[in-house]
Amino acid sequence: MQFIRSKTFHWTAALAGLFAIFVIVLSGFIYFRIDDYLIARSDRMITTQAGFFAGLPRERMISALDDHLEQDSRGVQFSGVFDAKGDRLAGNVAALPDGLAIGASARSVPLVRLDSRETGVTSVRTVARRLDNGDILVIGRNVDETAEVFRVVGAALGLGLLPAFCLWLLAGAWLSARASRRVEEVNLRVQRIIAGDLRERLPHRSVDEPFSRLAAIVNGMLDELETTINALAGVGNDIAHDLRTPLTRARLTLERGRTNATTLEQLQQATDKAIAGIDQSLSIVTALLRLAEIENSRRSSAFGDVALGEMLREVCDMYEPIAEDKQVALSVNISAALSVRGDRDLLLEAVANLVDNAIKFTPRNGSVELELKRGEGETILRVRDTGPGISEHEHEAVLRRFYRSDKIRNTPGVGLGLNLVSAIVKLHGFRLIIHAGPGGRVEIVCPDEQGGRT
């Protein structure tokens, strides 16, 4: 019976009540309007009849009245002729009623019918005329039949209205029970989510109705949250793990230096090593903060037109000495002057990271090529190298924070480079595509609808 307390039920009951009141008021209005109309019509009729009968000589009038009464099969007509003393001469009215206003317009007057005295006095619409010979003509018509008709119709209406009202209440109860059942289910599931079960989802049917749409949206949000929270939990562990290594190294170095150093130089060496360890930890923290900054999209205000060719040449210029030192051929291949809308500093950082990686993983005498070209409706920035490349099963993994392939365990780095590139690319609405080997091939694809153009 909880539904009785529910708002839906209250609203339905209120609406049902309002509907019933409306129907009653409407019926009353119709009744009174029709009643008025019928009385006015009877009044007109009896006034015309009285005028007609009054114009006839006494004998003719009496016979006309008798005919008139004979034709009244429903027994609603009243008529009578009385002499000046009030004695009945003809008609079915038993006696002249008290207070009869002779010559006045039609009104309700209590009359007794001659042929049914036992039923007593009936209120009848009546006109009375004094004739030229002093006689009094009384013409009446019983309008109680209209009241009767309405009594019947009213009773039918009442009987019809009651089940309708009950039906409304039942519908209200059903709707309210259904809504509260769904809300209860949602409550239950939300409580499970609050309790930590992030895999729980809200119930929804595949029909296009607001509640299901809302549930689908909330479920989408929960999917996103679950992914983020899981990623965060993973990142937390990864950060702790990756910071632990250089910090432990720094601690050990300092501890050993403090105990074993016998000269200032030895102590300085130990300190330098410790500082290097701490610097590595700081570079991890800095990279993470930078990732957070980029992922929060706080830099979209710095968006502008970025000439990609010029940017690639700059990166190439910057990395040329490093490539040369490693005997890696670094080249740029720009097919046209292309530009995109974006943050120049961030895009430069992304490309620099890709080139940095490419040079790092390309063996001696290999080559790294930067390429800028137009695709179909998109601008493509490609970094290609003759290194080992990224195997297909690692394509997703390399975008995870701190992921370091077994092949590169001994290469310096913190495993955040591609993560940063991915975050920057995502911020711009571009796509990062890692192609399968042999050789490394990574592309940043800038679709035209994001502002890419020639």
Partner 1 sequence: MTKVLLIEDDDETAGEITAELADRGFDVEWSSDGLDGLAKARDLRPDAMIVDRLLPGMDGLTVIESLRKDQVRTPVLVLSALGAVDDRVRGLRMGGDDYLTKPFAIVELVARIEALLRRPPETRETKLRVGQLELDLIERTAKRGERKIDLLPREFRLLEYMMRRSDQLLTRAMLLEEVWNYKFVPATNLVDVHMGRVRHKVDGPGDAPMINNVRGAGFILRAVS
Q: Which of 35, 356, 369, 394 forms a contact with partner 1 (CB under 8 A)?
A: 356
Binding range to partner 1, per CB under 8 A, among 54-62, 89-97, 275-283, 395-403: 275-283
226 or 320, CB closer to partner 1?
Answer: 320
Three-state DSSP class for residue 389: coil
Three-state DSSP class for residue 364: coil
In the stretch 281-300, what mask flags binding to partner 1 with x, by CB under 8 A?
A: -xx--x--xx--x----xx-
Distance between CA atoms of 368 and 381, rounded to whole angstroms?
13
Touching partner 1, residues 361-420 (CB under 8 A)? 412-413, 417
What number of chain residues touch partner 1 (CB under 8 A)? 29
Contact indicator for 61, 137 with CB cutoff of 8 Å: yes
Q: Closest separation between CB of residue 378 and partner 1, Å? A: 26
Per CB under 8 A, does 243 bind partner 1? no
12 or 357, CB closer to partner 1?
Answer: 357
Contact indicator for 232, 224 with CB cutoff of 8 Å: no
Give, in order, the Cα–Cα distances in Å from 248 to each of 167, 251, 274, 302, 403: 77, 5, 9, 39, 20
Per CB under 8 A, does 206 bind partner 1? no
Tokens at 12, concatenated = 């339905």
Q: Closest separation between CB of residue 282 and partner 1, Å? A: 6
Contact indicator for 439, 387 with CB cutoff of 8 Å: yes
215 or 432, CB closer to partner 1?
Answer: 432
Tokens at 324, concatenated = 């040369």
Touching partner 1, residues 106-165 (CB under 8 A)? none
Other CB atoms within a 10 A radius of the CB of residue 426 amount to 15
63 or 266, CB closer to partner 1?
Answer: 266
45 or 322, CB closer to partner 1?
Answer: 322
Report the Cα 234 to chain-centroid distance in Å: 34
In the 8-state DSSP scheme, what is residue 453? B
Nearest Cα residue to 38 out of 112, 122, 139, 141: 141
Distance between CA atoms of 268 and 409, rounded to whole angstroms?
29
Per CB under 8 A, does 325 bind partner 1? yes
Binding range to partner 1, per CB under 8 A, among 80-88, 159-167, 186-194, 280-288: 280-288
Q: Which of 113, 360, 428, 441 forms a contact with partner 1 (CB under 8 A)?
A: 360
CA atoms within 13 A on the CB side of 270: 17
Binding residues for partner 1, rule: CB under 8 A, are 272, 275, 282-283, 286, 289-290, 293, 298-299, 301-302, 317-319, 321-322, 325, 345, 348-349, 352-353, 356, 359-360, 412-413, 417
